Amino acid sequence: MTDPLAEPGRMPSRAPGRTGTPSSTATSLLTDRYELTMLQAALADGTAHRRCVFEVFTRRLPAGRRYGVVAGTGRFLEALADFRFTTTELDWLADERVVDDATLDFLAGYRFSGDVRGYAEGEVFFPLSPVLVVEGTFAEAVLLETLALSVLNHDSAVASAASRMTSAAVDRPCLEMGARRAHEEAAVAAARAAVVAGFAATSNLEAGRRYGLETIGTAAHAFTLLHDDEEAAFASQVAALGPGTTLLVDTYDVRRGVERALAAAGTRLGAVRLDSGDLGVLAQEVRAQLDAAGARETKVVVTSDLDEYAIAALAAAPVDSYGVGTSVVTGSGAPTCGMVYKLVAREGRDGALAPVAKASTAKTSTGGRKAAARRRGPDGRAVEEVLVAGDDAAVASWVPDDEALRTLHVPLVTDGEVDAAWTGPGGVARARDRHRASRDELPRGARRLSADEAAVPTVTLRLDGRD
């Protein structure tokens, strides 16, 4: 099939004798073709090894959102560690004539050796926040665009929605159970992102295994329907899982379901789950029924297409936890954050980094290296997102002399070495703590669900004194 975006002309085949170790874990082809074709042209014209600075940011938040949540940083760093071109990838690129032999030779030895810094995972962000900064040669850094954006756009969208849900739930746990509404790998990523934003557990076992998350789940309506009657189904589940299990009581009649659940497990029944109907009314009725029977410790769990608005509407209902599926894994109407990966500085002929910027209408960017900080008021709450710009060396060494400013960038990769503290189960726990503290720092009213502007404005502090 002819690629309409490829340049005409036949690429030479891969040179014989190139060696490498085949691998099924390499992440290097999780990218777009134009990243490799740009690399080929830059290698040919001598610009590939110019030092460059790329930034990831979003120009705007989804309509009605007051803040976003950075998530996926740990996953990006894990993928970066495997971003290499083995014989498997090189052979395919050669067979498909994607790039020439000189580029294949470069890719065979590719390892990112630059620096990455950014917002700590779990941090809230606003329009123009430089949530990730990648510095290295053009050849090294340009190849990471699609990987960084695909991870951060997806995971941050899920975490941003999840944060609204856990905020609406206040102290009641939210449980992620949306795997059946997502691609199988996206489901794992979504579960991780939801936990970063405060969800207590997930139904996804691979997410639990990979990231040390608590997993939950007992039985669906199919299990009840399998048995000759509800009594038999509940008795079987209690026999297998113990009286502390959660019984789904709305397959037939809810009142009779609760009676049968208590008959099977007694007052030590762990929880009942409601998955249909008017959840607020049913929760009131079921709570009263459980209390009257002496099962005051039995919890009420609600599911059924919940989102942040439904959770908020159930605030006065006697609900103990919320199970959320479709809405959280799809970003609750905002499945991407619109993040972009832009070159903001590159090495000039004099060897110094010079700012560069796109000037296209509605897609402008601000050139030059930037630092980031959050200004807090006397009450400790955020009042401004501050972008620090100006002379490259001054920005690189900037340290705030104002106690009201909290710096936001942290080192993630130094000279190609990933800081493992941001990866794996430990990285998730660290990100969850950071999100809790960051969200608590927002101004009052920032967490309400009504449509509004960003919770704080983004301003620029220029070190060279210019506006």
Residue 354: the pLDDT is 93
Are 369 and 53 in contact by the 8 Å Cβ rule? The answer is yes
51-58, strands of its sheet edge to edge: 353-355, 339-347, 51-58, 132-137, 115-119, 409-414, 417-418
pLDDT digits (tens, 9 = 90+) for 353-397: 999 987 766 666 789 999 999 999 999 999 999 999 999 999 999
pTM of the model: 0.93
In angstroms, the Cα distances linking 328 to 49, 209, 309, 345, 434 are 42, 20, 12, 36, 20
pLDDT of residue 408: 98
Residue ranges in 305-391 assigned as alpha helix (H): 308-313, 326-329
Sign for the CA dihedral angle at 442, 445, 447, 451 comes to negative
Q: Return the exposure string of 21-44: e unless at least 16 CB atoms fall within 10 Å of the residue's CB, then b.
A: eeeeebbbbebbbeebbbbbebbe
Q: What is the pLDDT of residue 226?
A: 98
Give the Cα separation of 305 and 324 in Å (integer). 7
Tell me, what's the pLDDT at 1?
41
Q: Can you tell me the distance from the alpha carbon of 250 to that of 261, in angstroms, rounded to the nearest whole number?
A: 11
**CA nearest to 303, candidates 225, 244, 249:** 249
Compute how many other C-beta atoms are within 10 angstroms of the C-beta atom of residue 194: 33
| Contact criterion met (CB below 8 Å) for 383 and 373 | no
Lowest mean pLDDT among 10-14, 84-88, 97-101: 10-14
Q: What domains can you pick out in the chain, each with its CATH number? A: 33-158+334-461 (3.20.140.10), 218-319 (3.20.20.70)
Residue 465's pLDDT band (boundaries 50, 70, 90)? low
